[in-house]
Structure formats: structure tokens, C-alpha cells
Structure 1
């Protein structure tokens, strides 16, 4: 975290001589060009497209790869072998109806820069015949890949050096098909600093350290969509395009549940500032300014905390907005213990383009220390469910012929004119001793990948060296490093030992006394397990930090104390709240400790204990569906979000005695004014889900949110399915009422 980060800059050839000067780099925002309200939709070459892109003074954009080398790229990841893997959704929206979208024609390619100039020279199809690949996570010489609709995960490996995977291994078997719309499924898996693998949606995390997947259920993780990132401490940042929320879940780690605070970003942060008219926005006129530009985040995705060392943007959050043809740069500020986001360029964006086909869908920190941008480069960006007949988007797509612009894609990198990208150093073949040096590398890509490899190798000979790093032994001054933050080296060494199952209580307690707050916070997180086991020695060390001078350490202390159910743990939380009455984050966290608020699922079980087991089961399942799918638009309380979606509480459609009305809405969706109000989107149909799914969500919404009757999976389900099986358009209120 930047609030406690201290740099000790060591120049090559001057061993252990520090320099505290901080260089100021050119970073002046561009002058906005004249906005074209209704732009032409013409393909441009990569070079022509780059001419339309505007960046702050001092920054430049370079082409890394483009068609025909890649097509329809959605996510990228560097392997520790130095190669760049690219997931390509070759069937995504190839026409306005998404014909053949679910055919196994997509792929993962591997790109190579053979001459080290930063531009890819060779592309090889690593895995072919995939269905819309969405999860891409290199391990060592293996790559985890997840496909759309498939809950199982596989690792792939190339054993003969031809860049074509020849070994496929099942590492997580989940035979039940995921029938959710592809925008509502898990994507963007990352290996976090705590050695758990997190996904962008669903309250699950995975651990892969012994060649098999361990699964852990999180109590109340945020529900994001496409994109997941973390800062140097492992704090996760989610986003939700469906809920038009550019960033969420970053006040506390999701292992402790979700915490959203008022004032989590500066006023007006949700407003975006394109330099091109955006007629193809799902919300229609509601989401447009008078000049035709998008007025609010509506498709945030592929966000990343930049942890590279060759841009003056370390620790900033970059958020692509493909509908607005822009990338936001947000400053991540820590104000009295609260994490607050601020647009780095008021009423302007970091990167914006006047090319209507520019569709940034992901950003990543590269091993060269620069920022990478994945551009799907296409006309239509919304999935077909949102472009059906009756939607605002369909006539726009038809008029602009957006669906004809397909089959291309670009990858760019952002560089700074006063800094030089570093040469990629593959890590896969390095010794364990060499990898340990990289745990303190100024580029976070090397730190996390070195840690990952050390954990996967589990080389016991590394343990004494790692212990020495944590306890403050004499550090190596790696010849590759021009600057080194040794506290980050201790931080990653500590987590590496955790991943190797090589920690003891003495080492954890020692780390709690580290001079750097980041290490103390990590030690507190790790101590959760010892607190659960009622380890008195660790508990004494934990409670000794209640007077720590850094507020974020106190917050982590409160979270760690949740692992103890003792009276003393509650008393400490109460004391922290009493002595920090002006700190709203500490107050909110401590109240959860003191009041022991039960999980929502446990509350539901108690509330409906007298209901028949089948009804209770539907309520519990319906809650999970509502949280993962519906709450982004309707809010967790079901009372709607202003301008986005109406309330479900008291809705005459939800409470209709005739179950066919809400069932038809679930199956085919709803558009148009609702009770005299216009909303920015449509309710999408979900008839691909089975009858039990329909019964579960309807029972939760009707019985729990409205005190109406439950719905069984047998009630009119097949009758309604047959009635609407050939219907592709949304319902309107008027049409729905006539049909019943």
C-alpha cells in the first residue's frame, strides 16, 4: 500500500547507498479533440487506430500484436517461460444474433517476441477447439484454462517445445454445466499473494499447491464480472459491468466478507469522459450526454492495479470501459483507513480514442514494467442477450452495421518517454535461490511469479533462506534490480513460506514486529489459523498490536480477531472502536465482531425453520442466485437501483397470483417503461436455466422479499416453456398483461 511504502533506491555499482530523491515525470493531460456525436464505424489499421488515441503528455502507445496474429482477444497472461498466452473468443457475436456462438471454435494462442523489441513475432495455437475461453492462469510449465459453460478446470502443458499443448489434465471436476449467461459466469482467475486462487464471481476460492484443487467457500465475497486484480498486499478489486459499478470489494479482503463504505470514491467518479459519441450503449438516451457521449460507467471490465516499475503509476487502478472506448486511471488513496478512488485526470480519461472499434477489455502489468491493453477491436461489444428485438441496442447495431466489424484484435503497451521498458527475464528455468532474489523485485509481476514457482516447487532447501529474509537477514542486492524495496521481499518471503507450509508460530510472531506495516498486516492475516486453534502465544502477540500507529494494521487486527469467539477478543474490538470513534471503517468492522452478525444463509435457515424442507432449500438456493445474478441491478435488498432497475419489493408482477407472469419475465426478459419509469437497461431472459433454478429464484423473491407464495419447479414451468420456446424478444408490460 502506498500509505506505508518506503523506497530505498540502490544504484548499480553503489552497494547499499540510498537516494531519497523522487523524480517527477511528465504527466500533463491532453487537450480534448472535438467530439463526433455519431461516428462512422470503419475499420482502421493498428497504426491508424493508434493515431486516434489520446494519452497524457509523456506517455505513448506501442503495438504488441494484431490480426492476423490474433483475433478476438479477451484476456492475456505471461507464463514464467516468458511467453504471452492469449485467449481468443473466435465465435463471440459474429453477427447480431450470436449465431454459432457456443460452438467449440475458439482457442488459446501463445505469442513470442523473438528479437526483444517488445513486438510479438510469432503466434502458435496452443489449444484449439475451445468454447469461449475465459480463465487463463499460467502456473509453471502448465496453464490453467477455463471455458464458458464448463465449471471444470484443466491444466495444459507443452512437453516438446513446439508451443502446442500435448498434455491435458483435469484439476477440478464439476460435471454440472453452468447455464448462466456468459457475462454472469466466473472469469479472471488470479493467484493471489496468499497462495489462494480467486475468481471474479461466486463465493469460492481455490488452492493449487499439491497438483490438485482444494476448494474453500467464502462467507460473502463481492460478486464481480469480467476482471479481478490485487494490490501489492493482496487486497482484491472487483468490478461489475451489469451493476454499472467500476470498482467494489476493496475495503477489506473477501475472506472476511464484503464491506462497502460510503465515500469509497470521490464524488462524480462514476462519470466517464469519452471523446467519441457512444450511440451503442444499452441504457440508451438515459446514459448519454447532450453531446452524445457516455455519461456513466456501463461496461467496466479487465481492471488491474499497476505494479510495474517503468511507468510513474505504481499502485494505480486502471479500468477499461469498452462502450466508452476509454481506460480510466484511478488513484488509490488511503484516507484514515478508508480506501478511496479518485480519477487521476478530472473530467478526462487516461486513454481515450475516437476510433469507434476500439474496445479495451483488459489491462495487465507486463514483465517489462509497462501497462498492457487488450483491444477486442470490433463493432458490437454487447452479448446477444442484450441485442434482441425490442432492445434499444438492436436498431443502433443495424443502423451502424456494427455486427459486420469482426475478426480482428490488438494488444498494446503503454510506455513513458522518460522511462525504458526492461527486458523480459524468464523465470521458469531459474534456480530456487535465484527466484528468492525476485521476491523483492520492483516489478510486481516478478514478485508474484517467483513466489508462485517457489510454492509449486516446494524446495525444502529454500526454507532457511526464506526464513532469513523474513527475520531481516542480510539481503542480496540482485544485479538485475535498479531499486529494491526489501520490505516487499520480506512480505513475499513470508507468504512463500506459508504456501510451502513451512511457517511456525515464532516466525509469524516475529513478522508481527516488523518495521513495515505491510509485513505486520500479512502476519496478522496468517495468524487467523492460530487464533482459531486457540494458540495463546499468538493471541498475545496479536492483541499487542492494538496500539499500532498505522490505522490499517488496527483494521486487520479487528478482522483477525473474528477468528476468536472469546470474550477478550470482543473486548479488544470494543476498545478499538471506543478509541477510534471518528474512524468509520474501524467502527463498521468492530461492530461486526461485537454483534456477531450471522451470515445471511444462517439467518435464512432460522427464519424459515418451520417451512417444509423443500421450500427452505429453494429459499437458500434462490438467495445465492439472487446475490450472484440479480443483486447487481436490483440491489441486495431487492428495492432496485435508481435509473438501473426497478424494485422487486411490492412489484405487482412479482406478487401476481398467476405464477406465469414472473415466470415469463424470467424466461424472456422485460423491456420498456415500468410503472411509468425508464431504466438504463433491459431485464434479460434466462430460459436456458432449468425448472429448479426458476423455482428457487422465484421462491426467494416472492416469499422472502415479498411474503408471497413459494413456487415449485412443477408449477406451469413446462407449459410456459412450450409457449415461449420460439420467442426471442423481450416482453413489454403491455404485452405481458395481454398474454395473461
Structure 2
């Protein structure tokens, strides 16, 4: 035997010893609650793991892959053959200090079910020696791979990666592992979107295009049947967009745009079935209840809109959200009124799935080719990045031996009992794929659309054109339209016909596709169609008309301005229309306010109030200090701000909706330095009043983690980042010295808990 064969066998034996024996288990055993020890957190064999889970009545959990076949899965994608391409982030938190995190231990592996029994049994390493890989996307006979800070594209030839191309050198340059872009969702509009990012990507004529859109989420991103995006932050259940993803980001002076980053489900309560002391703020009042169980989301991630055809009608337009800190998966029921989407938790006092196993760490959820719900379980003791680990959590790691092992991982699927989950076989034949564009499963429709575009087979266009007329199946109409758009085969007369559809979802998609088809020869027809929708008082279309004026303006400025003025007069108190109109006014907001002052004299109406806020924000930003000069003055501070602060407080210091309040012009920043140092060292929990406005969950995250316990961040670093923040934007406060940090450390020596606003009032 060759040496590397011996090495491989030793690794297999070690894995089996650490994670216990892998035995495929296809059916959920009866759930029998048992006492949970708080003194240890044993590794439970994959063959026994399902017995520790309680799933909704009528469903069962099936184990389809586990160690040594897969390790630390964090993202995946199915291919046409039904194989799973899995991202293994093996380097995540090797111990409580993150030692060795930067070693190239990550992999992209392909899992196959060779004997077709529903359990995956073959592993092929596609790429290895990656540093913390976090996302993939199969597209155009190749694959996108996110390996911070870069995004790469590989062609796939004979199952091997070839022709490595750099798509984005700055895909994930800011933030730490928990706060970097991820997702790479191939959405209905043929663009690829990300969480924790404002970028989208698309390959056009062999060139990768990068565009800026709205900033979205933290970990995980999904879409509904109409291509609207959903995501969340670690303490928020579900957030989403009411409108199509490509609109509304053209005016950088708009801090927030109504209809984007909306709290879809505001209720953040969770219901674990075991004590969960191993959460970062388990010591804080209210984090755990009297039975030591987490009360609210603290690691929400991996959301998915269920779009399969297996669960039944009650599960259509449901959103599932993973909470690895509480070892559970939540179900939310969504409803739509007009273009507004809201939701409620499916149950009170229980979850769709919860486990007694503390190491059950669901981090991403997916629809599958058989209609099942797929669950990636990282199966780790530690699920908190080193940047934010508190002494309390570090003690939990050590006392209950949560650091090891590191090479476990499981993938499950959830199916209804007594129903056979049969994967849909995706054919090579283009005409058959067109028929699948109308399939009951959203997963199948998406895959058929993507395969047709990747095949670049334009002989299929006549069949797609015929499908556009199938009003009995609006989903086939919508997907056919987007395939034609992807093949550059969508005609003006076809879009105009869809704009006249009596079905709102079809009209919505026709409005959404317009930016990619409008040109110098077609703009006149589209201008007429948009004006007709305006005359018909189609209020559902109104925000879209506002956004589309931006794309009409280069061809016909007069027509575009007429649409904006008409919208202003017709819907002056509609906040969604107002923001759509304002999105067209970048750097001419004041002139537009002068124009509409007589048309809308009431300054309390939405268009006037929202426009006034944007103008005030722009004028305020003009007074900001030069960030490049400050970065030269405080190089370490600027770097630390980008990696640990900017991801929640925004590059302009004005905060990010659903994450954090502003730092710019905040009295907490420019005032008493000891209060600021206390917050940064030990964290902040609960509501906080910033310049007269009380910020609290769900408007922002309920907690800000401290960084004073990090062994990588020195007092010199903290002093410099705080000096940087106190001098940035319009802040003008004195520098903070290293001795100031040391003094606060000494004063609160031994403190573990985060500060509340009330406590901070006593800090001198």
C-alpha cells in the first residue's frame, strides 16, 4: 500500500472512533424525551441521532449522509443528476480560540446515491485545500466558489475543476466568518444574489458582471415563487423584500427603501426542548428562561421558503428557519395582501423540529428534487466565532468538552410519513424541460429554467413562446419568460402582452423583466404601456412604475419624469410609491422637492416626509470627514472597524436596519469615553436611546457583542478603533488612550455580562 492510502485509512478509523459508527437510518424512531445532562455534551452516533429529535406530527426525519462521508457541511447545491455538491467548512473554530482557522482544510465534495436507496454512499472531493469556503453555485457547466476574500469560477471538465477565473477579488473582504457574504442564490431573474452583501452577479457573453443592489441578511438567502428574496440576521426570524430584487438601489442617499428589508415575521420567540446554556449570553437576564432554555433567536440562519409539492397545501408559502444555538428548526406561515408579505409562527410553545442533542447544529435548509426539506447539520459543539466568545461561553466549552471532535457532519431530509419522496429526473431534452417549467415543485421549475439557459439551445424558443400563452399555468408563463430573457430571445410584443395580463404575478414579472429588454427601438412601446397602467389605477404596479422610470429616462427623460410626477400626484401618501419615486432622484432631491411642493403642499404626506429625510441625510453626509485620511491616521482602527463594526453599523456609520443603531453623531460615541469603552469591551443588551430614538428589537438586534474577551484584539487595537470611530463622519471627539481601556478593564474586572442602558448611566 502507498503511504497516502495508510493515511486515509487512519483518518477513517479516527473519524469513526470520534463520531461513532455511521449506520444509515431511514425512518424516525418514536420520540422519547430523556433527562439532559448539563455536565457533558456527548457525541451521539449518526445512527441514533434521529431518536433525539421531535418533529411535527405526520413527518419523519431521514438520515441521508454523515461522517465520514461528509464533514461540517455549511452549504450545498443539487445538480441535474441529483448529486449533492457540499461545502465543508472544516476550519471553523478548531478550538475555543479559533487556532488554525486560516489553514486550508476546507473542501467542496460531491455526494452520490449510487444504489438509489435514498442514502448517499459515494464521496468525491472536487476541490480541497480551501480556507473557510462558504458558498457555491452551479452554473453554465461550471461552478462559483466563495473562498474569502475572493469569488472564483471553475469550468467543470470530466468532473474536475479547470480554467480557474477570478470573478470578484473583493467578494468577502470585510467582516469575520460570521459576517461575510454567502448564499450565491441563482434567482428567478437569472442573477445570483448573496446574504451579508449588496452585490449580485451574472455571466453575460462570457463576462462576469457585478452590480450593486440592496444590502441583505447575514447567513442564508432564499426566494419565493415570484423571485422575491428572504433572509435574516442572527436575532431575527425572517426578513424579506416585497418587490423584485433588482429595483430601488439607485439612490445611495436613501438610507432605507420601503418594501425592502422588511420584517416578514417579527416574532423571534423560540422553543427548545432541552436546556441551552451554551449560548454566548446565557448569563444575561432574559436570554434563557427558568429552565435554562433560549427564549429568542440568537443564531437564526439558513432560511428557506418551502416550494416543494410533497408536504401538502398547508405548507405552501411556508418559511423554515434554522436556529443552531437552540438545536431546532422553526416553521412560519406567510400570507400576502397586495404586495405586502407578512407571517406568523406556525405554533406557540413548540417547533417544527427540535433536538435533545446539543451538537445538532442546523445551519442551512434547502428544497430538494423530491419535494423534501433538506437540513445541513454542522454537528459541532462550538457554534460561536472567536471574535465574540464571552468568558461565560469559553467556560462552557471547556467544562463540557465542546471543542472536539471537529470532523462530524450530517445531512437529513424531512418528509411526510407514508409518502414516497421520489426525485424528479431532469431530462436533457429541451422540450421536456419546457414542460417542467410548469411543474408543481418550485425546485423543479427553477432547475428546468437554469438548465435551459445553460444549454443555450435556441431551437427551444418556439416552444417557450407557446408556453407564454398558457394562462392556465401562470408559473409556466413566468419561468418561460425568464428563460427567453436568459437566451436573449424575449420579444417586445411578448412583454407588452404580459403587461396586460389579468393575473398580477404575471404582470409583476413582466414589469421586472423590462430593464433587461428596454432599448432604443422598444422604449416608446414600453413608455406607452407604463402610462396605460398608471391610467388604469393599477396600484399594485405603481411602485414598479416608479422604479422603471429610472430605466426609461436614458431613452425618454420627458416620459420618465411625467410618470414620476403622475405617481406623486396620484399616490402622495403611499410610502412604497414615494420611495420608488425618490430612488430616481439621486443628487437632485432638492430640485425635485421644489418641483412637487405645489403639487403636494402637505409636508406630512409620505412623499414629502421621505424626501425631506433623504435631503437632510445628504446634507449631513456632506459634512463627513475624509475616510481615507482617517484610515491613514488610524490604520489598525480602520481595519478593525471594517472587520468587526462596519457589517452592522454600515460604512457611513448610520447603522443598518434590523442590525444596529447609528454611530455617527451618537452621544454614546462622542460623549463619556468610559461608557463607550464599557460597551465595546463587554457588550450592550436591550434597548438604547440614540439621539431621542429608542432602538430595540426587532428594529435592531437585541444584543451587541463585546470584543474585550478576544485574545486576538489588544487594548491598543481597541483604543485605535474607538479613536477612529470618534473622529469619523461628523463625530469630533478626543482620542482614546490605551490606559483608558486598561482602566475600564480594571474597574470591571471579572465582569461577564453585557451592559444595559440603565447600567451605563452610572458609568463615570
Counterparts of 1:160-559 in structure 2, within 5 Å, are 160=158, 163=159, 165-174=160-169, 178=173, 180-218=175-213, 221-241=214-234, 244-255=235-246, 256-257=248-249, 259=257, 269-284=267-282, 285-286=284-285, 287-312=287-312, 313-387=315-389, 391-427=391-427, 430-472=428-470, 486-528=473-515, 535-546=523-534, 552-559=540-547
Per the alignment, do residues 323 and 260 of structure 1 end up closer, same or farther by CA in structure 2, a change over 3 Å counting?
farther
Per the alignment, do residues 697 and 549 of structure 1 end up closer, same or farther by CA in structure 2, a change over 3 Å counting?
farther
CA–CA separation in structure 2 for the residues paired with 1:176 and 1:50:
37
- Cα offsets for 1:689-725 (capped at 9, x unmatched): 9x9999899656644364547x9xxx99xxx79x99x
Counterparts of 1:643-654 in structure 2, within 5 Å, are 648=663, 654=669
Contact 1:530 1:538 survives alignment (8 Å): no
CA–CA separation in structure 1 for the residues paired with 2:171 and 2:647:
24
CA–CA separation in structure 2 for the residues paired with 1:548 and 1:280:
57
Contact 1:37 1:276 survives alignment (8 Å): no
- Cα offsets for 1:479-506 (capped at 9, x unmatched): xxxxxx7211110111111112222321
Question: Which residue number in structure 1 is paired with residue 682 of structure 2?
Answer: 671
Question: Which residue number in structure 1 is paired with residue 149 of structure 2?
Answer: 150
- Cα offsets for 1:129-171 (capped at 9, x unmatched): 1111101111243221111x322322252x33xx5x2414214
Contact 1:469 1:489 survives alignment (8 Å): yes
My pick for the range that moved more, 541-550 or 86-95, is 541-550
Per the alignment, do residues 450 and 618 of structure 1 end up closer, same or farther by CA in structure 2, a change over 3 Å counting?
farther
Deviation at 1:654?
Answer: 3.3
- Cα offsets for 1:561-604 (capped at 9, x unmatched): 454564421233235526xx6x7655665676756859979955
Per the alignment, do residues 260 and 319 of structure 1 end up closer, same or farther by CA in structure 2, a change over 3 Å counting?
farther
CA–CA separation in structure 1 for the residues paired with 2:577 and 2:659:
31
Per the alignment, do residues 150 and 266 of structure 1 end up closer, same or farther by CA in structure 2, a change over 3 Å counting?
closer
RMSD value, Cα: 4.5
Contact 1:273 1:294 survives alignment (8 Å): yes
- Cα offsets for 1:439-484 (capped at 9, x unmatched): 11211222112212222232222222212221349xxxxxxxxxxx
Per the alignment, do residues 426 and 382 of structure 1 end up closer, same or farther by CA in structure 2, a change over 3 Å counting?
same
Contact 1:106 1:130 survives alignment (8 Å): yes
Question: Which residue number in structure 2 is paired with residue 16 of structure 1?
Answer: none
Structure 2 gaps of 5+ residues are: 1-29, 250-255, 585-606, 689-695, 697-701, 752-759
Contact 2:670 2:726 survives alignment (8 Å): no
Contact 2:243 2:260 survives alignment (8 Å): no
Contact 2:264 2:343 survives alignment (8 Å): yes
SS of 1:519's equivalent in the other structure is: helix
SS of 2:431's equivalent in the other structure is: helix
CA–CA separation in structure 2 for the residues paired with 1:623 and 1:315:
43
SS of 2:136's equivalent in the other structure is: strand
Counterparts of 1:616-695 in structure 2, within 5 Å, are 630=645, 648=663, 654-655=669-670, 670-671=681-682, 680-684=703-707
Deviation at 1:358?
Answer: 0.7
Structure 1 gaps of 5+ residues are: 1-29, 474-484
Deviation at 1:374?
Answer: 0.7
Deviation at 1:79?
Answer: 1.3
In the alignment, is residue 88 of structure 1 matched against residue 119 of structure 2? no
Per the alignment, do residues 627 and 569 of structure 1 end up closer, same or farther by CA in structure 2, a change over 3 Å counting?
farther
Counterparts of 1:12-23 in structure 2, within 5 Å, are none
- Cα offsets for 1:495-546 (capped at 9, x unmatched): 1111122223211111112242211101111224567969232122123234
CA–CA separation in structure 2 for the residues paired with 1:420 and 1:627:
49
CA–CA separation in structure 2 for the residues paired with 1:228 and 1:138:
16
Deviation at 1:44?
Answer: 1.1
Per the alignment, do residues 632 and 169 of structure 1 end up closer, same or farther by CA in structure 2, a change over 3 Å counting?
closer
Contact 1:144 1:156 survives alignment (8 Å): no
SS of 2:476's equivalent in the other structure is: helix
CA–CA separation in structure 2 for the residues paired with 1:349 and 1:421:
23
Aligned residues: 664
Contact 1:52 1:353 survives alignment (8 Å): yes
Deviation at 1:279?
Answer: 0.6
Normalising by structure 2, we get a TM-score of 0.76
SS of 2:134's equivalent in the other structure is: strand
Contact 2:233 2:659 survives alignment (8 Å): no
Contact 1:609 1:616 survives alignment (8 Å): no
Per the alignment, do residues 263 and 464 of structure 1 end up closer, same or farther by CA in structure 2, a change over 3 Å counting?
closer
SS of 1:556's equivalent in the other structure is: helix
Contact 2:265 2:345 survives alignment (8 Å): no
- Cα offsets for 1:105-147 (capped at 9, x unmatched): 1111111112222211211111111111101111243221111
CA–CA separation in structure 2 for the residues paired with 1:263 and 1:674:
23
Contact 1:46 1:66 survives alignment (8 Å): yes
Counterparts of 1:21-40 in structure 2, within 5 Å, are 36=36, 38=38, 40=40
Per the alignment, do residues 584 and 331 of structure 1 end up closer, same or farther by CA in structure 2, a change over 3 Å counting?
farther
CA–CA separation in structure 2 for the residues paired with 1:316 and 1:676:
30
Contact 1:298 1:321 survives alignment (8 Å): yes
CA–CA separation in structure 1 for the residues paired with 2:387 and 2:621:
36
Contact 2:499 2:507 survives alignment (8 Å): yes
- Cα offsets for 1:343-367 (capped at 9, x unmatched): 1112321111111111100110001
Question: Which residue number in structure 1 is paired with residue 252 of structure 2?
Answer: none
Per the alignment, do residues 706 and 391 of structure 1 end up closer, same or farther by CA in structure 2, a change over 3 Å counting?
farther
Contact 1:317 1:329 survives alignment (8 Å): yes
Counterparts of 1:49-60 in structure 2, within 5 Å, are 49-60=49-60
CA–CA separation in structure 1 for the residues paired with 2:619 and 2:491:
38
SS of 2:220's equivalent in the other structure is: coil
SS of 1:488's equivalent in the other structure is: helix
Per the alignment, do residues 72 and 176 of structure 1 end up closer, same or farther by CA in structure 2, a change over 3 Å counting?
closer
Question: Which residue number in structure 1 is paired with residue 622 of structure 2?
Answer: 608
Normalising by structure 1, we get a TM-score of 0.78
CA–CA separation in structure 2 for the residues paired with 1:597 and 1:643:
22
Deviation at 1:40?
Answer: 4.0
My pick for the range that moved more, 297-306 or 330-339, is 330-339
Question: Which residue number in structure 2 is paired with residue 477 of structure 1?
Answer: none
Deviation at 1:94?
Answer: 2.1
SS of 1:525's equivalent in the other structure is: helix
Deviation at 1:48?
Answer: 1.8
Deviation at 1:54?
Answer: 1.1
Contact 1:37 1:293 survives alignment (8 Å): no
- Cα offsets for 1:621-656 (capped at 9, x unmatched): 999998996477569997989999787467677337
CA–CA separation in structure 2 for the residues paired with 1:697 and 1:561:
43
CA–CA separation in structure 2 for the residues paired with 1:602 and 1:215:
30
Deviation at 1:39?
Answer: 7.1
